[in-house]
């Protein structure tokens, strides 16, 4: 099930990397894909105030709402709004909620919320990093508060650290936030010593990887960190902050993932969802700023959700030599509470 936020289009700055052409390119590729006829497309509905307030301060919501009175406004030096951004952001959050509703019932349908603006940098109190509302966090909180879901895992595969999602759930024991991201890179958070606090100690897993890390490094991190963490945490559903700016063509990213590599990551998360939580997995789009790479990764992701792994990667591998991330994996397994014998977050 693909939930499409059509209201995104008027939230646009054509010269900005986070522009309406991103989602248009992804949708065009998806509709042209051979399996398009088998995909169910649903229109996003706006999230209500209560859903947004469940993760964001009133001041943040009020500011985004106020921005609709302005023809154009900059929340910070890289986060713009237009008169239509409040509507677009509300429908983005609503799409993520619909995705989670699609997987929370007795007959889950793997879902993908195709949204912009993205969300994972928005903290409880601050819109930032192109993000107005934190779509994936709003969906996770909706699942817990309104759908009776106890334990939610959020896996963030965007090239940037999902500082906002981490911030929102940092003290929550029932939401596992797990991020693999390039470091050093915006926003500068996501050190592996950030592991949660108070009751949430151990429920944050950060995997900062060096520039140039690609498919092999990600696969290693999945095998030794992400999959064991999910098995130990035993979520009732898995949400994925699906950012595709780790692709080797991306102008902002510094990793060298391929379309095939991204598809494999999502395939592995689907397999873990099958194993741990009855196949309940939903993706929420985050970054991805090279239009061809974003479009191909979105198509690849829908293949993975459909259980197909025989994808044709139109852009190929980066061909670059990758750094060895084994020392990072060894360090995290040695000191992260999630991997200490006998402890459960
Ligand atoms: Zn990003």
- Determine the pLDDT at residue 344: 47
CA 291–ligand 1 middle distance (angstroms)? 14
C-alpha to C-alpha distance for 55 and 256, rounded to whole angstroms:
33
Question: Is 294's pLDDT higher than 50?
Answer: yes
CA of 285 to the centre of ligand 1 (A): 10
pTM of the model: 0.97
Whole-number pLDDT of residue 37: 85
Q: Which of 194, 142, 138, 143 is nearest to 171 (CA)?
A: 194
Q: How far is the CA of 243 from the centre of ligand 1 (A)?
A: 6
List beta partners, residue 177. 154, 204
Non-local (6+) Cβ contacts of 21 within 8 A are 14, 291
Expressed in angstroms and rounded, the spacing between residue 157 Cα and the centre of ligand 1 is: 9
Output the CA 160–ligand 1 centroid distance in Å: 4
Q: Identify which of 227, 225, 295 has the alpha carbon closest to the alpha carbon of residue 262.
A: 295
pLDDT score for 341: 64
pLDDT, the chain, mean: 95
| 201 Cα–ligand 1 center, Å | 25
304-305-308 Cα angle (round to 5) = 40
Secondary structure in 3-state letters for the chain = CEEECHHHHHCCCCCCCCCHHHHHHHHHHHHHCCCHHHCCEEECCCCCHHHHHCCCCHHHHHHHHHHCCCCEEEEECCEEEECCHHHHHHHHHHHHHHHHHHHHCCCCCCEEEECCCCCCCCCCCCCECCECCCHHHHHHHHHHHHCCCCCEEEEECCCCCCHHHHHHHCCCCCEEEEEEEECCCCCCCCCCCCCCCHHHCCCEEEEEECCCCEHHHHHHHHHHHHHHHHHHHCCCEEEEEECCCCECCCCCCCCEECHHHHHHHHHHHHHHHHHHHCCCEEEEECCCCCHHHHHHHHHHHHHHHCCCCCCCCCCCCCCCCCCCCHHHHHHHHHHCHHHCCCCCC
Give me ligand 1 centre to Cα 158, in Å: 5
Please, which pLDDT band fits residue 166 given cuts at 50, 70 and 90? Answer: very high
Q: What is the mean pLDDT of residues 297-311?
A: 92
- Residue 60: pLDDT band (50, 70, 90) is very high
| Spacing, Cα 297 to ligand 1 middle (Å) | 14
- 250-271 average pLDDT score: 97
Q: How far is the CA of 212 from the centre of ligand 1 (A)?
A: 15
The answer to whether the CB of 302 falls within 8 A of the CB of 263 is no
Choose the catalytic residue: 121, 142, 161, 224: 121
Q: Give residue 35's pLDDT.
A: 86
| Residue 345 confidence (pLDDT) above 70 | no
**Whether the predicted pLDDT of 68 surpasses 90:** no
Rounded CA-CA distance 130/233 in Å is 31
pLDDT greater than 90 at residue 218: yes
The alpha carbon of 136 and the centre of ligand 1 are apart by a number of angstroms equal to 14
C-alpha span between 306 and 265 (Å, rounded): 14
Provide mean pLDDT across the span 304-325. Answer: 92
Instruction: Give the pLDDT score at 148.
Output: 95
d(CA 91, CA 106): 25
What is the per-residue pLDDT across 226-257, written as a single tens digit (0 to 9) for each?
Answer: 999 999 999 999 999 999 999 999 999 899 99
Distance 161 CA to ligand 1 centre (A): 7
Give dist(CA 209, CA 191) in Å, integer. 10
pLDDT (tens digit, 9 = 90+) per residue, 84-119? 999 999 999 999 999 999 999 888 889 999 999 999
Phi-psi map region of 162: left, alpha, beta (phi>0 left; psi -120 to 50 alpha): beta
- pLDDT recorded at residue 107: 86
Is the pLDDT confidence value at 289 over 70?
yes
- Whole-number pLDDT of residue 311: 85
Q: What is the pLDDT of residue 308?
A: 87
What CATH number belongs to 2-339? 3.40.800.20
Taking residues 61-71, report their average pLDDT. 92
Give the Cα separation of 72 and 15 in Å (integer). Answer: 14
Q: Is 121 an active-site residue? A: yes
Average pLDDT value for residue range 124-143 = 98
């Amino acid at each position: 099930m693909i939930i499409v936020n059509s209201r995104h289009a008027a939230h646009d700055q054509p010269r900005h990397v986070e522009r309406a052409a991103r989602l248009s390119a992804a949708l065009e590729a998806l509709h042209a894909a051979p399996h398009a006829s088998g995909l169910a497309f649903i229109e996003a509905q706006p999230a209500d105030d209560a859903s947004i307030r469940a993760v964001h301060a009133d001041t943040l919501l009020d500011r985004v709402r106020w921005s609709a009175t302005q023809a154009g406004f900059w929340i910070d030096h890289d986060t713009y709004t237009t008169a239509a951004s409040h509507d677009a952001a509300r429908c983005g959050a609503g799409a993520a909620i619909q995705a989670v509703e699609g997987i929370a019932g007795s007959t889950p349908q793997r879902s993908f919320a195709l949204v912009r603006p993205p969300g994972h940098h928005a903290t409880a109190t601050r819109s930032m990093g192109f993000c107005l509302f934190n779509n994936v966090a709003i969906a996770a909180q909706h699942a817990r508060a309104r759908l009776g879901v106890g334990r939610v895992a959020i896996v963030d595969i965007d090239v940037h650290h999902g500082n906002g999602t981490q911030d929102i759930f940092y003290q929550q024991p029932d939401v596992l936030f797990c991020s693999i991201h390039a470091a050093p890179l915006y926003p500068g958070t996501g050190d592996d010593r950030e592991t949660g606090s108070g009751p949430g100690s151990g429920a944050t897993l950060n995997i900062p990887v060096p520039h140039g890390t690609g498919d092999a490094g990600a696969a290693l991190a999945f095998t030794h960190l992400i999959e064991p963490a999910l098995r130990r945490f035993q979520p009732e559903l898995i949400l994925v902050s699906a950012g595709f700016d780790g692709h080797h063509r991306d102008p902002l990213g510094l990793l060298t993932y391929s379309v095939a590599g991204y598809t494999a990551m999502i395939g592995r998360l689907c397999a873990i969802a099958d194993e741990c939580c009855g196949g309940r997995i939903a993706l929420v789009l985050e970054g991805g700023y090279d239009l061809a790479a974003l479009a191909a990764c979105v198509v690849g992701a829908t293949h993975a959700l459909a259980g197909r792994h025989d994808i044709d990667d139109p852009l190929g591998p980066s061909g670059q030599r990758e750094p060895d991330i084994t020392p990072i994996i060894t360090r995290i397994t040695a000191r992260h509470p999630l991997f200490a014998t006998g402890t459960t977050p």
